[in-house]
Amino acid sequence: MGVIGVGRGINFALGAQHAGMKLVALCDVWKEKLKEAARRFPGVGTYTDYDRFLKHDMDAVVLANFFHEHAPFAVKALDAGLHVMSETSACKTPAEGVALARAVERSKRIYMLAENYCYMAYIQEMRRLYQAGAIGEFQMGECEYMHPMLAREMAAISPGINHWRNWIPPIYYNTHALAPIMFITGTRPVCVNARGVPGSPADPERFWTRRADIGFHILCAMDNRAVTVVNGISYRGHGNWYRVHGTRGLMENLRAHGEQGKLRVTHERYDLRPGEVLEKIYTPEFPMHADLAARAGHGGGDFFTNYHFAEAIRSGRQPFLDVYRALDMTLVGILGWRSCLQNGAPVDIPDFRKESVRKRYENDHGSPFPEDAGPGQPPSSILGFIEPSRENLRKARQVWRKLGYRGT
């Protein structure tokens, strides 16, 4: 296995051996960080050139580079005959998604989205219960991922006015919320109505250089006629929450601080079956490899993404989080943003499993990111194109200089 991106990618590098994989190569354009990583992994090849990295003797690549740059890297790796695991988002435009789906089919290699929130112990338990019929057929879901940060903290991980974190509409980062609902129920989104919420002047120390909004809300129609409400991402109140209503019960994780790993399952009295109770609250265990998962990040998810990627390669079978489900949830963000800019108008989510559908999107390059600026470019905020104040830029640059970043 090789890893591109030695920031977040270090977690994948460290966890490779626990999944029976061997780390053999690292790639990053930040030379200082790459040197630091090389000292942690002696004997591992290091590269600043991705094309040279792909020629290293290896079977698979993990993409932990910038959020919106995965698809072109994935296509190159697949065409080089390598299996690919990509973190968080599959593509930044529908056209990239089309190219990615075609590359996976053309290469016949494994592709997996490393959406680690699917593998927390209580999410895996909810999937088991749902498949066993514990709450009946999925009718309504609610999910949220909240990660508030102060402006100084955001600046420290977003060096440069054109860093992707300064431009990304928050709805693009919906996967930590939506993916577990898809994983639990096996359903896919087919249409979205979405709204964005801008930052407030009453909260000036949240974002110094962000051009985007603070939150998003999606009403997501699923392919079994259920509806899922998806909320995120920077409101006060750090945490993640998932609630699934079925035709004969409800399950959700608790929301109180320190108790989000507990699961609540409830039934109405008239739905009870032998052995069931009206309400049960408990802390689920991992279904396997609990010792390794407990030591991994993101509630054990960082272990299971590596594990299921390796198992898919060994078996030759695409994982649950395959390219099509990766594109489903990624397109919810991309096309949901278009709904936000149209005051919540419904937008269909295309099924890229079908080439006839893909052809309609192969030239759709709409993107809010600065490198794609041009006529008709969508803004990153429902307020339009936001320019940071001179004072905010000054404060951000002070943080960037301390990091060693010398760009603009």
What's the average model confidence in pLDDT over 21-25? 96
Domain shared by 251 and 157, yes or no: yes
Identify whether 381 is part of a domain: no
Residue at which a domain ends, from 57, 90, 116: 116
* Structure confidence by residue, pLDDT tens digits, 63-109: 999 999 999 999 999 999 999 999 879 999 999 999 999 999 999 99
pLDDT at 347: 98
> What count of other Cβ atoms lies within 10 Å of the Cβ of residue 255?
15
CA distances from 68 to 91, 166, 317 (A): 6, 12, 27
Domain shared by 209 and 351, yes or no: yes
Domain shared by 87 and 175, yes or no: no
Identify whether 386 is part of a domain: no
pLDDT at 69: 94
Domain shared by 95 and 183, yes or no: no
Identify whether 377 is part of a domain: no
Domain shared by 109 and 196, yes or no: no
pLDDT at 235: 95
Domain shared by 33 and 102, yes or no: yes
Identify whether 256 is part of a domain: yes
Domain shared by 110 and 125, yes or no: no
Beta-strand relationship, 25-27 and 2-4: parallel
Residue at which a domain ends, from 83, 116, 149: 116
Residue 184 lies in domain: 117-295+322-359
Q: What CATH code is carried by the domain that includes residue 90?
A: 3.40.50.720
Domain shared by 51 and 160, yes or no: no
Percent of the chain with pLDDT over 70: 100
pLDDT at 377: 94
* Structure confidence by residue, pLDDT tens digits, 150-190: 999 999 999 999 999 999 999 999 999 999 999 999 999 99
Please tell me whether the overall predicted TM-score, pTM, comes out greater than 0.85 for this model: yes
Domain shared by 130 and 154, yes or no: yes
pLDDT at 292: 92
Confidence of residue 344 (pLDDT cuts 50, 70, 90): very high
What's the average model confidence in pLDDT over 380-408? 93
| HEC sequence for the chain | CEEECCCCHHHHHHHHHHHCCCCCEEECCCHHHHHHHHHHCCCCEEECCHHHHHCCCCCEEEECCCHHHHHHHHHHHHHCCCEEEECCCCCCCHHHHHHHHHHHHHHCCCEEECCHHHHCHHHHHHHHHHHCCCCCCEEEEEEEEECCCCHHHHHHCCCCCCCHHHCCCHHHHCHHHHHHHHHHHCCCEEEEEEEEECCCCCCCCCCCCCCCCCEEEEEEEECCCCEEEEEEECCCCCEEEEEEEECCEEEEECCCCCCCCCEEEECCHHHCCCCCCCEEEECCCCCCCHHHHHCCCHHHHHHHHHHHHHHHHHHCCCCCCCHHHHHHHHHHHHHHHHHHCCCCCCEECCCCCCHHHHCCCCCCCCCCCHHHCCCCCCCCECCECCCCCHHHHHHHHHHHHHHCCCCC
The residue among 4, 19, 10 whose CA lies nearest residue 313 is: 19
Domain shared by 224 and 268, yes or no: yes
Let me know the angle formed at the C-alpha of 331 by 328 and 333, rounded to the nearest 5 degrees: 120
Residue at which a domain ends, from 86, 116, 146: 116
Q: What CATH code is carried by the domain that includes residue 167?
A: 3.30.360.10
| Residues 6 or more apart whose Cβ sits within 8 Å of residue 293 | 119, 121, 286, 300, 303, 304
Top-confidence residue, 154 or 207: 154
Token pair 């945490």 is found at 239
Identify whether 373 is part of a domain: no
Domain shared by 223 and 339, yes or no: yes
> What count of other Cβ atoms lies within 10 Å of the Cβ of residue 308?
19
Domain shared by 69 and 140, yes or no: no
The domain total for the chain is 2
User: Whole-number mean pLDDT of the chain?
Assistant: 95
Identify whether 370 is part of a domain: no
Identify whether 81 is part of a domain: yes
φ/ψ (deg, to 5) at 175: -70, -35
pLDDT at 225: 98
Identify whether 312 is part of a domain: no
